[in-house]
Amino acid sequence: MTFKDLHIISMKSFSRDMIDHILDTAEKLEPIASSKSKSDLLKGKVLAVMFFEPSTRTRMSFETAMMRLGGDVLSLGSVDASSIAKGETLADTIRVVEGYSNAIVLRHNKEGAAQLASEFSSVPIINAGDGAGHHPTQTFLDLYTIRRESHLDGLKIALAGDLKYGRTVHSLCYALSLYGAEITLVSPKELRMPAEIIDDLKSHNIKVRETDSIEEAISDVDVLYATRIQKERFPDPAEYRKVANSLQITPELLEKAKPELKVMHPLPRTNEIDPRVDGTPHACYFRQSFYGVPVRMALLALVMGALK
Amino acid sequence: MEETPIPEIRVHPIRNGTVIDHITAGQALNVLNILNIPNPSSGVVSIIINAPSVHGIKDVVKIEGRELNVEEVDRISLIAPKATINIIRNFEVSGKTHVHIPEKVSGVVKCINPNCISNSNEPVTSRFTVKPDGRKITLRCSYCERTISEDIGNHLL
Ligand SMILES: [Zn+2]
C-alpha cells in the first residue's frame, strides 16, 4: 500500500485497509497537531492551497496541518484578483501551480474539478470540495472522530438533517458501509436521502432505517450526526421553522439517549444543536473540527511520501 | 386463425452497404445523426420505423455504399444496444455483427450536469463509463459521476 503521489479525489477509491492506515497515521500525528511536540517532517515541502470558493475553516485546517509538520503554504489569493478572473482554465492554472508545489489542495465550485485537476497535475491533488461533489477529507475526519470518540466497528449511528443535498453524509454513509454500521436516517420528507444511495447501502448488507422523528432514533445509537438544514431549501419560511425545530438537539432530548452517545456536526451550525448541549459529555463537534488537523497532516505526509 | 407472416424487410435489397437491424424502436433518427446523415455524399438511405419483429417493434436503417467504422458502431451501441450490423457486398450479407458496447466513451455524449467541469471551457473531452443494464445502458460521467440512462440520444455531441 503506497500513498505517495496518490490523488485524493473521492472516498470511493479508498478501501477499508487504506482508510484504517490513514486513521492510524492521524492518531500517531495527533500530539503534533495539538502542539505537544514539534515536527519537521515536511520541511522544505510546499503545499499550494487553491480555493476558488471560500471555506475558511477547511483552508485554515489544511494550512495548520502543513505548518505543524514544518512545511510551507502557498496560497492562491482571492480568485477575483487572479488570472482565473481573466478566463484562464483550471487546467492551465494547475499546470502552472504544480511547478511551485509538492501537493495541491483544491476547492472549486464545479463538480469534477478535482478529477480534472488530477489529469493535469504531476503532484498529488487533494479535493477539498468540488461543487455538490466530493469532500473526502471531511469524511476522513468524521471517521477519525467516530473512532476516537466512540468506535467504528459495530457502530449504530443516526444521521439527522438535510440528507438529500448534504454531500458529506453521502460519502460518510459509503465509508461506514465498509465498517458494517447500522444507520438510521432522520430527515423531513423534503430532504430524504436519495434512493440510489440507500439502495447502495443495502447492497452492502447495511441495516438502514428511515424516520422523521429524532426522538425515535436517538435512544439506542452511539453517534448522532447532525447536519445543517439550509433555509433556502424551503420555499415557505414557516415550513423551514417547523422542520428546524422538530430536528433540534436539546439537553431534554438527550436524556433519552445512551450516556455514551456522541453528538457530531460538521459546523457551522445554525440552530440544529441547542448551545446548552455544548457543556454536556455528548458534545464532540468542536473536537471533531480539531481532528481535521491530524487527519489532514496524515494525508499530506502520506501523499508527499514523508510517511509510508 | 393463423396470421400472415410479416415480411422482414420492406425495402428493396441493396448491392453494397450496411443494414443496421434491430435498432431500439424510436432511435433510427438518432442513428442517422451519429452517422452524419443526411449529407450530400451519403448515398441512398432507407429507414424503417416501428417494424414488427419477434421481439416487439424495431427500427431498421439501410445505407448504400457505406461501411461503418468501429467508432460509429460504438456510438450506435449506446442508443441501440441490441442492434446488428450487416455488411452487404454484392447483394450478399458478407458480415453480421452485434454492436459492441464499449467500457468507456469519450467525446460522444455531453454530461447532463450543467455544473460539471466537463461542460466548461476546459481542454478536456467528456468521458463516461458505460454500464449495460439489461436492455438499457447507463453512462456515468468520469468527472462529476452524474449518470444518464434515459434519452441518451438527446445528449449526443
Ligand atoms: Zn459530468
Q: At which of B98, B119, B138 does a domain end?
A: B98
Q: How far is Cα A247 from Cα A306, in angstroms, rounded to an integer?
A: 44
| Residue A108, beta-bridge partner list | A130
Asked if the model's pLDDT at residue A131 lies above 90, the reply is no
Residue in chain B nearest A113 by alpha carbon: B117
Q: Does residue B87 share a domain with residue B24?
A: yes
B118 touches chain A (CB under 8 A): yes
Q: At which of B51, B76, B98 does a domain end?
A: B98
Q: Which of A16, A38, A57, A287 is catalytic?
A: A57
Identify the CA nearest to A262 among candidates A187, A273, A271, A216: A273
Nearest to B117 among A10, A111, A132 (CB): A111
**Confidence band (pLDDT; 50, 70, 90) for A234?**
confident
Compute the half-sphere exposure of residue B126: CA atoms within 13 Å on the CB side of its CA: 24
Tell me the Cα Rg of chain B.
Answer: 17
Q: Does residue B86 share a domain with residue B26?
A: yes
Identify the CA nearest to A148 among candidates A284, A5, A11: A284
Q: What residues of A are in contact with residue B120 (Cβ under 8 Å)? A: 89-90, 110
Using the CB atoms, write b or e for A137-170: b if 16+ within 10 Å: bbbbbbbbbbbbbbebeebbbbbbbbbbbbbbbb
Distance B117 CA to ligand 1 centre (A): 7
Mean pLDDT of A187-207: 91
Beta-carbon contacts of B90 under 8 Å, excluding residues fewer than 6 positions away, are B15, B16
Asked if the model's pLDDT at residue A161 lies above 90, the reply is yes
End-to-end CA distance of chain A: give it in Å, rounded. 8
Distance A4 CA to ligand 1 centre (A): 28
State the pLDDT at residue A78. 64
- Residue A107 annotated as catalytic: yes
Mean pLDDT of A58-75: 96
How many interface pairs between A and B have CB atoms less than 8 angstroms apart?
Answer: 50
Mean pLDDT of A244-264: 94
pTM of the predicted structure, to 2 decimals: 0.89
Query: Which residues 215-244 of chain A have a CB within 8 Å of chain B?
Result: none
Least confident of A34-48, A69-83, A189-203, B56-70: A69-83
B122 touches chain A (CB under 8 A): yes
- Let me know if residue B51 belongs to a domain: yes
* CATH assignment at residue B124: 2.30.30.20
Interface test with B, best of A86, A111, A119, A196 (most B CBs within 10 A): A111
Count of other CB atoms within 10 angstroms of residue A237 = 9
State the residue range of the domain holding B79. 17-98
| pLDDT tens figures, A39-49 | 999 999 999 99
Residue in chain B nearest A119 by alpha carbon: B124
Contact flag B117-A110 (C-beta cutoff 8 Å): yes
Mean pLDDT of A187-194: 91
Compute the half-sphere exposure of residue B70: CA atoms within 13 Å on the CB side of its CA: 2
Q: Does residue B109 share a domain with residue B94?
A: no
Q: Are strands B56-64 and B17-24 parallel, antiparallel or unpaired?
A: antiparallel
Q: Is the dihedral of CA B57, B11, B13, B89 positive or negative?
A: negative
Query: Which residues 129-148 of chain B have a CB within 8 Å of chain A?
Result: 141-146
State the pLDDT at residue B2. 56
* CATH assignment at residue B78: 3.30.70.140
Mean pLDDT of A136-151: 97
| pLDDT tens figures, A273-308 | 999 999 999 999 999 999 999 999 999 999 999 999
B103 touches chain A (CB under 8 A): no
- Let me know if residue B5 belongs to a domain: no
**Long-range contacts of A100-104, Cβ-Cβ distance < 8 Å, separation of 24 or more:** A100/A46, A100/A48, A100/A74, A101/A46, A101/A47, A101/A48, A101/A74, A102/A45, A102/A46, A102/A47, A102/A71, A102/A304, A103/A45, A103/A47, A103/A48, A103/A300, A103/A303, A103/A304, A104/A47, A104/A48, A104/A49, A104/A50
Q: Does residue B78 share a domain with residue B40?
A: yes
A108 touches chain B (CB under 8 A): yes
Q: Does residue B122 share a domain with residue B92?
A: no
Q: Report whether B116 belongs to an annotated binding site.
A: yes
- Let me know if residue B138 belongs to a domain: yes
Q: What residues of A are in contact with residue B128 (Cβ under 8 Å)? A: none
CB B138 within 8 A of CB B131: yes
Asked if the model's pLDDT at residue A109 lies above 70, the reply is yes
- Let me know if residue B87 belongs to a domain: yes
Using the CB atoms, write b or e for A68-91: b if 16+ within 10 Å: bbbbebeebeebeeeebeeeebbb
Q: Does residue B149 share a domain with residue B120?
A: yes
Contact flag B115-A109 (C-beta cutoff 8 Å): yes
- Let me know if residue B143 belongs to a domain: yes
Q: Does residue B123 share a domain with residue B64?
A: no
State the pLDDT at residue B3. 58
B29 touches chain A (CB under 8 A): no
Q: Does residue B135 share a domain with residue B90?
A: no
Asked if the model's pLDDT at residue A85 lies above 70, the reply is no
> Phi, psi (5° rounding) for residue A86?
-85, 0
Q: Report whether B144 belongs to an annotated binding site.
A: yes
**Long-range contacts of B89-95, Cβ-Cβ distance < 8 Å, separation of 24 or more:** B89/B16, B90/B15, B90/B16, B91/B13, B91/B14, B91/B15, B93/B19
Contact flag A90-B143 (C-beta cutoff 8 Å): no
The CA distances from residue B142 to A149, A196, B129, in Å, are 36, 18, 7
Q: Does residue B118 share a domain with residue B61?
A: no
Distance B44 CA to ligand 1 centre (A): 37
Q: How far is B141 from chain A (nearest CA, A)?
A: 9
| pLDDT tens figures, B51-76 | 998 889 999 999 999 989 888 898 89
- Residue A68 annotated as catalytic: no
Q: At which of B78, B98, B118 does a domain end?
A: B98
- Let me know if residue B1 belongs to a domain: no
| pLDDT tens figures, B121-147 | 999 999 999 998 777 889 999 999 999
- Residue A209 annotated as catalytic: no
- Residue A256 annotated as catalytic: no
Q: Does residue B94 share a domain with residue B136?
A: no
- Let me know if residue B90 belongs to a domain: yes
Interface test with B, best of A116, A119, A120, A135 (most B CBs within 10 A): A116
Asked if the model's pLDDT at residue A77 lies above 80, the reply is no
- Let me know if residue B75 belongs to a domain: yes
Q: Does residue B113 share a domain with residue B57?
A: no
State the pLDDT at residue B1. 52
Q: Which run of H or of E encompasses A246?
A: helix A237-246
Q: What is the mean pLDDT of chain B?
A: 88
Q: What residues of A are in contact with residue B122 (Cβ under 8 Å)? A: 89-91, 116
Task: Summarize chain A as % helix, strand, coil (round to 5).
Answer: 45, 15, 40
Asked if the model's pLDDT at residue A64 lies above 80, the reply is yes
Q: What is the mean pLDDT of chain A?
A: 93
**Confidence band (pLDDT; 50, 70, 90) for A230?**
confident
Q: Which run of H or of E encompasses A103?
A: strand A103-108
Q: Give me the interface pTM, i.e. the ipTM.
A: 0.89
Q: How far is Cα A213 from Cα A206, in angstroms, rounded to an integer?
A: 21
Helix ranges, A12-104 (H): 16-33, 56-68, 90-97
| pLDDT tens figures, B3-46 | 565 555 556 788 999 999 999 999 999 999 999 898 887 788 99
Domain count, chain B: 2
Cell of A303: 501523499
State the pLDDT at residue B133. 76
CB A105 within 8 A of CB A84: no
Q: Does residue B81 share a domain with residue B27?
A: yes
State the pLDDT at residue B54. 87
